[in-house]
Amino acid sequence: MSFVLYNPNPENNLVIDCTVRAISKATGQSWDETYIGLAVEGYVIKDMSNSNRVWGQYVKRLGFKRHSIPNTCPDCYTVKQFCVDHPRGTFILATGNHVVAVVNGDYYDTWDSGDEIPIYVWSKGD
């Protein structure tokens, strides 16, 4: 259960692309494929590609299911704790302003987002 540095951006840029990075990791797609898929989805829906509505619809079409995070401790249940509680599986966690991939208990990001508070999760294969 640990942070894994992950930046699939082809230019290794550190930009505001957390949605693309997380979906790329969770789906096994390249950064480019994910970026283009989100752009097309945004075009169809007429919304920005990183909006919750757009990327949610995109991952739903890829077979992910959305779940609520239990509200037992809304200010203390972190990405790290989610990883401890979910040592197996593929997940995309959404916080208020960030998106991070969790695969088999590790969270993948360009920075250690383990203290972020997830508000909902998309899971694959459940």
pLDDT number for residue 30: 98
Give the three-class secondary structure for 16: coil
CB 33 within 8 Å of CB 69: no
13: pLDDT strictly greater than 70: yes
Which of 50, 46, 48, 41 lies closest to 19 in space, CA to CA? 50
Mean pLDDT of 59-84: 89
pLDDT band at residue 103 using 50, 70 and 90 as cut-offs: very high
pTM passes above 0.75: yes
What is the spatial distance between Cα 4 and Cα 95, in angstroms, rounded to a whole number?
A: 18
Token duo for residue 16: 């505001």
C-alpha dihedral (113, 118, 122, 123), degrees to nearest 10: 70
